[in-house]
Structure 1
Amino acid sequence: MRYLLVVLVFLSSSFAYEFYAKLEPINSYMVKSSVNGKVIYTNDKIEGYKANNSKIIEIDSYVDRIDLQQSNNKLKAINNMMKIEDKNYARLLKVSSKSGFEKDNQKLKVITFETTKADILVKIANLKDSIKNKKLVEKSNYIFNIAVKKGDYVNPGTLLYESKDLSKGKLEIFIPISDVEKVKDKTIYLNDEKTDLKIDKIYNVADSKHISSYKAEIIIKNPKTFSRLVKIEFK
């Protein structure tokens, strides 16, 4: 009886929890257009390589740039007109012979110009944002797929390209809820090799597909290859 108990304890302590997962980039991005316009440039040569402050896609912004220039000119004119109307209003206030009606009309002119200026400032901000969003530059991500070609017309929501952050890798596994506490402090082996890795994150809500499991993530720094199947053991 004692012998059987020792054997059971030994088996329990040496039991390994084994999983398999595909090593994926830490983050993947679906870059979609936020504007309307015609594609005037696609950097097809960067596809399949890491970007280095590289322009990936450019959408025609010619009309926006002209509109921005004219809006800035209009803003300067409005500012000058406001200065004149403000001076006129200040003079009217000092003239006792002027009626309250005349003074109120002059004040309304000043308010109208202030409202017009506010509208122009909003338009300028929108134009700047639109121009910025029509030239897409990637700092260092891997460009996985360019989904549009020069000459295509895109709308907000159109997929432009996909990119991936290859600085780290991520293994996602689904651990039975009853075993989560048991594996937290165990040593992680990848493809039978001992590591000093730990579980980076456990989502303490049952997965929608694996309804009796919690999703867990293991992060690997600077992996050499991606999309390979990895055996994960907790011993």
Structure 2
Amino acid sequence: MKYIFALLFLVNSLFAYEFYAKLEPVNSYEIKAAVSGKVIYVNDEIEGKKANNSKIVEIDSYVDRIDLKQSKVKLKAVSQMLEIEEKNYNRMLQVSSKSGFEKDSQKLKAINYRTTKADIEVKIANLKDSIKNKMLKEKNRYIYNIAVKEGDYVNPGTLLYEAKDLSKGKLEIFVPIDDIADIKTKTIYLNGKKSDIKLDKVYKVADSKHISSYKVEIVVPDPKVFSRLVKVEFK
């Protein structure tokens, strides 16, 4: 009986697949500047910690805020002028003594104000977007690296900071193409412990370095420690 169990264990081992992978955060992010400007605030204290609705970086938006305030004043004035000119045009339509030229001229005034109003509305929307993009906050991601300092001038595309999602972990392994179908039917063991984890992604194009293998991703829920080597087995 002892020999039968030993034989079964040997057969099981022959059909097990073993890999090693480093457990990394499920997602990593590079947050880059969407607008240009001077960096006026950097939260150095949050680097290496998890954010909690924290402000990370702020780019100077003083001029934008003044411009936004004045643009709203202009919009209100132009809206009032447009309303007056449209009323004048509608009244003029009822006056038979007014020539077609006069009516067209009044209509053109209203159209010009309508165009000006639309331009100001677009400007206000752009200013709001610019101001929003100059205040960088994080809800709960881990702040891995802050790449700028107070006083730096940044342009669109400049790296501001890096953040990571620690809610889940990710293991990447490279499985020979011929073995993919078989591992899909097997149970995943992590560091020798049986799990109910399933394959998250199987890339159907061979990896550029591992030319005879497909990249396979395994998502690990709620890991306690990252960047450690994990033994992955399929049995």
State the TM bucket, normalised to the shorter chain. over 0.9
After superposition, give the CA deviation of every residue in 1:133-191 in whole Å (9 maximum; x if it has no partner): 00000000000000000110000000000000000000011111110001001111111
Moved over 3 A (4+): 10-14
Q: Name the CA distance, whole Å, in 1 between partners of 2:217 and 2:21.
A: 10
Other-structure match for 2:138: 138
1:142-181 alignment, distance < 5 Å: 142-181=142-181
Q: Name the CA distance, whole Å, in 1 between partners of 2:157 and 2:151.
A: 17
Q: Name the CA distance, whole Å, in 2 between partners of 1:106 and 1:197.
A: 72
Other-structure match for 2:73: 73
1:119-134 alignment, distance < 5 Å: 119-134=119-134
Structure 1 residue matching 2:140: 3-state secondary structure: coil
Other-structure match for 1:3: none
Amino acid paired to 2:226: F
Q: Name the CA distance, whole Å, in 2 between partners of 1:78 and 1:100.
A: 25
Amino acid paired to 2:151: G
How far 1:209 sits from its partner (Å)? 2.3
Does residue 94 (structure 1) correspond to residue 90 (structure 2)? The answer is: no
Any stretches of 5+ residues in structure 2 without a counterpart? 1-6
Structure 1 residue matching 2:35: 3-state secondary structure: coil
Other-structure match for 2:27: 27
Other-structure match for 2:116: 116
Other-structure match for 1:83: 83
How far 1:208 sits from its partner (Å)? 2.4
Structure 1 residue matching 2:199: 3-state secondary structure: coil
Structure 2 residue matching 1:72: 3-state secondary structure: helix
Amino acid paired to 2:119: D
How far 1:12 sits from its partner (Å)? 7.0
Other-structure match for 2:55: 55
Q: TM-score, normalised by structure 2?
A: 0.94
After superposition, give the CA deviation of every residue in 1:92-117 in whole Å (9 maximum; x if it has no partner): 11111111011001111111111111
Other-structure match for 1:188: 188
Structure 1 residue matching 2:119: 3-state secondary structure: helix
Moved more, 205-214 or 151-160: 205-214
Amino acid paired to 1:157: G
Aligned length: 228
User: How well do the aligned residues superpose, as a CA RMSD in angstroms?
Assistant: 1.4
Amino acid paired to 2:193: E
Amino acid paired to 1:172: E
Q: TM-score, normalised by structure 1?
A: 0.94
Structure 2 residue matching 1:80: 3-state secondary structure: helix
